């Protein structure tokens, strides 16, 4: 009887010792930090850092689906630079990103200023304004594609019966029109993000500043330009950076709306890389095409990081 | 207060506001009306004199029935929901732990790690999809929900970490110190004191992560091949366009049904979502 008790005690204290060793280890800040960071970092290393290294390697080889390929140096990159469709896709991506960002910023700012006022049903209006950003892009892009349909377009119907047009507008069937349509849909989807984020920034600006400026005789435009805009600049810059990254690397909207057509006039870097890498199975070339996004994204991120540093220092 | 004349208010406020509302919501209205419109009305050309495409007098459920009969739509909906929930859960746990470590613990390289996580936050999915498809296949995850449950956290963890790190920093240190004086371990204080206080931040991160997962397309398109494994966006794209023919009624019904769940979740947590959204861009 006494022996068993002693054995149990021994067993218990061994367990306690193990527990307390673990507790003591976790009391060390370094050990606890390592344990807490491990799961997240493991996922990021396995599914971001590792594929990034692999993408670099792929882009230097002639790998295809089911064929390991061999080292080809920079051949995939030079091929891309001489590829007329890729040149077009790159230009399209810059055009698409530039104009969509300009419109999103302008309209988003306008909407934010409107939403910053007091009016009835404000909460529900603000909530519904975010819907384009919440609803999966693929699904809403289909609604737009249907609205742009060559034969059954509701917009052609409305404009025709409103007496604005006599012949239908070639929304997605002409190259120039299709690109502007894509910019429009991207603006529609991204504008709420700008509006709501800028609205949050606006709400931190004291109304006293506006009243003071108004007393000094500044009109609405001057008040916006000299009071609101400078104070909003930091949040605006961050939102623009996020939006540029998202727009520059966009895939799903174009994939659904035009598939890159007509005649490659709306292909973006990502949709073209998908077509080459997944559609044709040329993994090496596709990886190289994707990597053309990297310098631009890197530059944007660099600006952002420098800016954050400056904020921290002063 | 700045006083305005009535016509000015109409010109500068009501009119633009109304235009924004129509612009924002019309596509959804159009999606819904198309989903319930019979085929013979749906395919009336733009020039037809008597067509009244802005509403329908003969609402029908034929597209709903067709969608349920010819596709695995309920399965897609279930897949999307399960994947979004698991990916969000994984990301929240990782984000809470990592965010706490970066906000509160002193260790070498913490600044570097914070920056590195921030950079991964800005890596778009379209940069890595080709090698990632091979990695997923090599891990025997291809065409299983785990392919997405484990890869979606790559864009959710950085966001959750960043947002929660900011949130943890706003919680006074004294709270934890009191608990530690009472004998709580660091880990215990984090789980029992800090996490409960941070619930609003955790909810914001979770809601935002959930909508991002629901929206994801390119990974789901590439990693999932059989019809019963697809998510709603991929299923709608690949199964409702047969050859060159678009089944617009069914497509819009699918789009509508695929949008409603995420819209409902959003409507319950609008304020948290907005906090998550605005927090997602703050340093």
Beta bridge partners of A246: none
Give the rounded distance of the alpha carbon of A17 from its chain centre. Answer: 50
Please give the residue range of the domain that contains residue A220.
Answer: 84-313
Q: Which of A70-79, A154-163, B95-104 has the lowest mean pLDDT?
A: A154-163
Q: Which residue carries 């973006």 as its tokens? A: A268
Does A97 fall in a domain? yes
Three-state DSSP state, B241: strand
Give exposure, B211-225, as e/b (b: 16+ Cβ within 10 Å).
Answer: bbbbbbbbbbbbbbe
Q: Least CA distance to A279: which residue of chain B?
A: B222
Six token digits for residue B177: 């110190």
What's CA B265's distance to the chain center, in Å? 10
Which residue of B45, B124, B186 is in closest CB contact with A26?
B186
> Which positions in chain B touch A252 (Cβ < 8 Å)?
217-218, 233
Task: Decide which of B242 and A127 is more confident.
Answer: A127
Q: Which residue of B has its CA nearest to A293?
A: B127
Model confidence over B117-153: pLDDT tens digits? 888 888 888 989 999 999 999 999 989 999 999 999 9
In sequence order, what are the residues at sequence separation of 6 or more whose Cβ sits closer than 8 angstroms to the Cβ of residue A272?
A85, A86, A89, A260, A264, A289
Q: Which pLDDT score, from 0 to 100, does residue B1 have?
A: 46
- Give the count of domains, chain A: 1
A12 CA: distance to closest CA in chain B (Å)? 21
Query: What are the domain boundaries of chain B?
Result: 65-279
A71 shares contact with chain B (CB less than 8 Å): no
Considering only the beta carbons, identify the residue of B119, B134, B211 that sits closest to A301: B119
Q: Are A48 and B123 in contact (CB under 8 A)?
A: yes
- pLDDT at residue A26 is higher than 90: no
Most confidently predicted of A124-128, A292-296, B88-92: B88-92
Q: Which two tokens stand for residue B283?
A: 């340093």
CB contact under 8 A, B31 and A143: yes
**DSSP for B156-189, written as a single string:** HHHHHHHHHHHHHHTS-HHHHHHHHHTT--HHHH
B121/chain A closest Cα distance in angstroms = 10
pLDDT of A12 above 60: no
Band the pLDDT of A247: cuts 50, 70, 90: very high
- Average pLDDT over chain A, rounded to an integer: 88
> Rounded distance, CA A48 to CA A98, Å?
27
DSSP chain A: -HHHHHHHHHHHHHHHHHHHHHHHHHHSHHHHHHHHHHHHHHHHIIIIIHHHHHHHHHHTB--BTTB---B-TTHHHHHHHT-HHHHHHHHHHHHHHHHHHHHHHHHHHHHHHHHTS--TTHHHHHHHHTHHHHS-HHHHHHHHHHHT-TTT-HHHHHHHHTTS-SS---TTTSHHHHHHHHHHHHHHHHHHHHHHHHHHHHTTS-HHHHHHHHHTT--HHHHIIIIIHHHHHHHHHHHHHHHHHHHHT--HHHHHHTTT-STTTT--HHHHHHIIIIIS--HHHHHHHHHTHHHHHHHHHHHHHHHHHHHHH-
* Residues of chain B above pLDDT 70, percent: 95
Within 8 A by CB and 6+ apart from B122, the residues are A242, A245, A297, A300, A301, A304
Whether the predicted pLDDT of B256 surpasses 90: yes
CATH numeric code, B65-279: 1.10.3720.10
| β-pair partners for B242 | B245
Rounded distance between C-alpha atoms, residue A279 and residue A70, angstroms = 21
pTM to 2 decimals? 0.90
**A128 in reach of chain B (CB within 8 A):** yes
Which residue do the tokens 């891990």 mark? B139
Which pLDDT does position B7 carry in this prediction?
85
Q: How confident is the model at residue A218 (pLDDT cuts 50, 70, 90)?
A: confident
Residue B46: count other Cβ atoms within 10 Å of its Cβ: 22
Percent of chain B with pLDDT strictly greater than 90? 60
At residue A67, φ and ψ (nearest 5 deg) are: -150, 110
d(CA B31, CA B42): 12
Asked if A55 lies within 8 A of B127 by C-beta distance, the reply is: yes
Cβ contact, residue pair B97, A301, below 8 Å: no
Q: Tell me, what CATH number does A161's domain have?
A: 1.10.3720.10
pLDDT digits (tens, 9 = 90+) for A137-172: 999 999 999 999 888 888 888 888 888 888 888 899
**With contacts defined as CB-CB under 8 Å, which chain B residues touch A305?**
115, 118-119
Distance, in Å, from the CA atom of A207 to the CA atom of A46, rounded to the nearest integer, reads: 49
| B50 in contact with chain A, both atoms CB, cutoff 8 A | no
CA distances from B236 to A124, A279, B4, B217 (A): 29, 19, 49, 11
A216's CB contacts (< 8 A; 6+ apart) are none
Domain membership of residue A262 (yes or no) is yes
Q: What is the predicted pLDDT for the residue at A192?
A: 94
């Amino acid at each position: 009887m006494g022996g068993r008790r002693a054995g149990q005690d021994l067993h218990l204290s061994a367990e306690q010792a193990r527990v307390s060793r673990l507790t003591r280890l976790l009391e060390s800040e370094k050990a606890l930090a390592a344990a807490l960071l491990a799961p997240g970092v493991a996922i990021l290393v396995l599914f971001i850092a590792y594929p990034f290294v692999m993408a670099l390697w792929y882009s230097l080889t002639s790998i295809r689906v089911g064929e390991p390929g061999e080292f080809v140096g920079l051949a995939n990159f030079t091929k891309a630079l001489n590829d007329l469709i890729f040149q077009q896709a790159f230009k399209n991506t810059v055009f698409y990103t530039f104009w969509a960002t300009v419109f999103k910023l302008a309209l988003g700012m306008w909407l934010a200023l409107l939403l910053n006022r007091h009016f009835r049903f404000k909460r529900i209006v603000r909530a519904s304004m975010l819907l384009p950003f919440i609803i999966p892009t693929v699904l809403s892009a289909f609604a737009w594609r249907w609205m742009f349909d060559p034969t059954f377009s509701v917009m052609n119907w409305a404009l025709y019966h409103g007496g604005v047009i006599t012949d239908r507008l070639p929304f997605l069937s002409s190259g120039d029109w299709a690109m502007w349509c894509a910019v429009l849909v991207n603006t529609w989807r991204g504008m709420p993000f700008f509006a709501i984020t800028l609205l949050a920034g606006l709400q931190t600006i004291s109304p006293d500043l506006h009243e003071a400026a108004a007393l000094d005789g500044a009109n609405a435009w001057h008040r916006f330009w000299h009071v609101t805009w400078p104070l909003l600049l930091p949040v605006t810059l961050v939102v623009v950076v996020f939006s540029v990254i998202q727009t520059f690397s966009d895939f799903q909207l174009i994939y659904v709306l035009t598939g890159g057509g007509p005649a490659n006039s709306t292909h973006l870097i990502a949709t073209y890389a998908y077509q080459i890498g997944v559609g044709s199975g040329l993994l090496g070339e596709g990886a190289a095409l994707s990597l053309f996004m990297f310098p631009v994204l890197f530059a944007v991120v660099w600006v952002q990081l420098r800016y954050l540093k400056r904020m921290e220092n002063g | 207060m700045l006083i305005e004349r009535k016509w000015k208010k109409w010109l500068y406020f009501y009119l633009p506001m109304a235009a924004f509302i129509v612009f924002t919501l019309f596509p959804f209205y159009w999606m819904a009306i198309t989903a319930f419109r019979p085929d013979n009305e749906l395919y009336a050309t733009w020039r037809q004199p008597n067509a009244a495409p802005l509403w329908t007098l003969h609402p029908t459920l034929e597209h709903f029935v067709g969608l349920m009969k010819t596709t695995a739509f309920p399965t897609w909906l279930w897949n999307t929901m399960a994947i979004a929930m698991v990916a969000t859960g994984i990301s929240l746990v990782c984000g809470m732990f990592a965010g706490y470590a970066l906000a509160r613990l002193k260790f070498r390289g913490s600044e570097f790690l914070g920056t590195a996580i921030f950079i991964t936050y800005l890596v778009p999915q379209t940069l890595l999809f080709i090698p990632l498809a091979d990695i997923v296949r090599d891990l025997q995850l291809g065409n299983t929900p785990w392919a997405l449950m484990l890869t979606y956290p790559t864009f959710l963890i950085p966001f959750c970490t960043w947002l929660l790190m900011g949130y943890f920093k706003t919680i006074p240190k004294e709270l934890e110190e009191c608990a530690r004086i009472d004998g709580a371990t660091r880990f215990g204080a984090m789980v029992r004191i800090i996490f409960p206080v941070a619930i609003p931040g955790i909810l914001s991160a979770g809601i935002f992560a959930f909508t991002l997962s629901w929206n994801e397309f390119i990974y789901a398109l590439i990693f999932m091949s059989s019809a019963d494994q697809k998510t709603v966006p991929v299923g709608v794209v690949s199964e409702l366009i047969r050859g060159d023919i678009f089944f617009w009624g069914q497509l819009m019904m699918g789009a509508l049904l695929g949008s409603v769940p995420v819209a409902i979740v959003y409507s319950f947590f609008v304020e948290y979502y907005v906090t998550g959204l605005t927090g997602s861009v703050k340093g």
